[in-house]
Protein backbone atom coordinates (compact mmCIF):
# COMPACT_ATOMS: atom_id res chain seq x y z
CA UNK A 1 0.00 0.00 0.00
CA UNK A 2 1.40 3.41 -0.94
CA UNK A 3 1.70 6.45 1.30
CA UNK A 4 -1.55 8.27 1.80
CA UNK A 5 -1.80 11.92 2.62
CA UNK A 6 -4.72 12.77 4.83
CA UNK A 7 -6.26 16.18 4.40
CA UNK A 8 -8.02 17.57 7.43
CA UNK A 9 -11.40 19.10 6.85
CA UNK A 10 -11.39 22.85 7.42
CA UNK A 11 -13.48 22.66 10.60
CA UNK A 12 -11.07 20.12 12.10
CA UNK A 13 -8.04 22.28 11.25
CA UNK A 14 -9.66 25.26 12.91
CA UNK A 15 -10.32 23.21 16.03
CA UNK A 16 -6.66 22.13 16.14
CA UNK A 17 -5.47 25.68 15.59
CA UNK A 18 -7.50 26.77 18.58
CA UNK A 19 -5.45 24.35 20.69
CA UNK A 20 -2.10 25.91 19.80
CA UNK A 21 -0.79 27.34 23.07
CA UNK A 22 0.14 30.97 23.47
CA UNK A 23 3.83 31.75 22.92
CA UNK A 24 4.22 32.52 26.63
CA UNK A 25 3.00 29.00 27.44
CA UNK A 26 5.46 27.25 25.15
CA UNK A 27 8.44 27.66 27.52
CA UNK A 28 10.95 28.02 24.73
CA UNK A 29 13.82 28.85 27.05
CA UNK A 30 16.34 31.28 25.62
CA UNK A 31 14.18 31.88 22.56
CA UNK A 32 11.71 33.78 24.71
CA UNK A 33 14.29 36.54 25.05
CA UNK A 34 15.27 36.63 21.38
CA UNK A 35 15.75 40.15 20.05
CA UNK A 36 14.50 39.01 16.66
CA UNK A 37 11.00 38.35 17.96
CA UNK A 38 8.65 40.36 15.80
CA UNK A 39 11.41 41.19 13.30
CA UNK A 40 10.87 40.53 9.62
CA UNK A 41 11.92 36.90 9.10
CA UNK A 42 13.03 37.81 5.57
CA UNK A 43 16.00 39.59 7.14
CA UNK A 44 17.21 36.33 8.62
CA UNK A 45 16.22 33.96 5.82
CA UNK A 46 16.84 35.10 2.28
CA UNK A 47 15.51 33.74 -0.98
CA UNK A 48 17.32 30.89 -2.67
CA UNK A 49 18.76 32.91 -5.52
CA UNK A 50 19.84 36.18 -3.97
CA UNK A 51 22.37 38.58 -5.34
CA UNK A 52 25.54 38.77 -3.29
CA UNK A 53 25.10 42.49 -2.68
CA UNK A 54 21.50 42.00 -1.49
CA UNK A 55 22.45 39.05 0.71
CA UNK A 56 25.29 40.97 2.35
CA UNK A 57 23.01 43.93 3.06
CA UNK A 58 20.25 41.71 4.44
CA UNK A 59 22.61 39.67 6.58
CA UNK A 60 24.23 42.86 7.85
CA UNK A 61 20.86 44.12 9.09
CA UNK A 62 20.09 40.79 10.73
CA UNK A 63 23.48 40.75 12.41
CA UNK A 64 22.84 44.22 13.81
CA UNK A 65 19.76 42.87 15.55
CA UNK A 66 21.75 39.89 16.83
CA UNK A 67 24.48 42.19 18.15
CA UNK A 68 22.16 43.51 20.85
CA UNK A 69 20.47 40.19 21.57
CA UNK A 70 20.77 38.97 25.16
CA UNK A 71 20.73 35.31 24.10
CA UNK A 72 23.24 35.52 21.25
CA UNK A 73 25.51 32.89 22.82
CA UNK A 74 22.69 30.39 23.31
CA UNK A 75 21.42 30.98 19.81
CA UNK A 76 24.86 30.59 18.27
CA UNK A 77 25.55 27.39 20.22
CA UNK A 78 22.22 26.00 19.08
CA UNK A 79 22.87 26.90 15.44
CA UNK A 80 26.34 25.39 15.42
CA UNK A 81 25.33 22.31 17.36
CA UNK A 82 22.17 21.44 15.46
CA UNK A 83 23.45 22.50 12.84
CA UNK A 84 21.05 25.03 11.39
CA UNK A 85 21.68 25.10 7.65
CA UNK A 86 19.81 28.22 6.69
CA UNK A 87 19.58 31.79 7.85
CA UNK A 88 21.34 34.07 10.28
CA UNK A 89 21.58 32.64 13.80
CA UNK A 90 23.55 34.03 16.69
CA UNK A 91 25.03 36.73 14.50
CA UNK A 92 26.41 34.19 12.07
CA UNK A 93 25.37 33.76 8.47
CA UNK A 94 25.31 30.41 6.70
CA UNK A 95 28.78 31.10 5.30
CA UNK A 96 30.06 32.19 8.74
CA UNK A 97 28.86 28.91 10.24
CA UNK A 98 30.44 26.92 7.44
CA UNK A 99 33.74 28.65 8.17
CA UNK A 100 33.34 28.14 11.92
CA UNK A 101 32.61 24.44 11.61
CA UNK A 102 34.91 23.77 8.67
CA UNK A 103 32.10 21.94 6.93
CA UNK A 104 30.16 22.75 3.85
CA UNK A 105 26.42 22.49 4.01
CA UNK A 106 26.54 21.57 0.36
CA UNK A 107 24.47 24.43 -0.94
CA UNK A 108 27.35 26.55 -2.17
CA UNK A 109 29.04 23.86 -4.19
CA UNK A 110 28.42 24.74 -7.80
CA UNK A 111 26.61 22.03 -9.63
CA UNK A 112 28.19 20.81 -12.85
CA UNK A 113 26.55 22.27 -15.88
CA UNK A 114 25.33 19.91 -18.52
CA UNK A 115 27.50 19.82 -21.58
CA UNK A 116 25.49 21.05 -24.56
CA UNK A 117 25.04 18.45 -27.24
CA UNK A 118 24.40 19.16 -30.85
Q: Which residues bind ligand SF4 (CB under 6 A)?
A: 34-36, 65-66, 69, 71-72, 75, 88-91
Start-to-end C-alpha separation, the chain: 44
* 72 contact partners, CB below 8 Å, separation of at least 6: 66, 90, 91
60 known ligand binder: no
CA distances from 112 to 48, 50, 115 (A): 18, 20, 9
75 known ligand binder: yes
In the bound state with ligand SF4, the residue whose beta carbon lies nearer, of 30 and 105, is: 30
In the bound state with ligand SF4, the residue whose beta carbon lies nearer, of 59 and 66, is: 66
68 known ligand binder: no
Smallest gap from residue 72 Cβ to ligand SF4 (A): 4
Smallest gap from residue 107 Cβ to ligand SF4 (A): 19
36 known ligand binder: yes
CA atoms within 13 A on the CB side of 88: 29
Q: Which residues are annotated as a binding site?
A: 36, 66, 69, 75
Amino acid sequence: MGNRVALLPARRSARNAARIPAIADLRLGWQEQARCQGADARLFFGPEKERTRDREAREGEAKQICASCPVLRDCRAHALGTPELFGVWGGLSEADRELATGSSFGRRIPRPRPVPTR
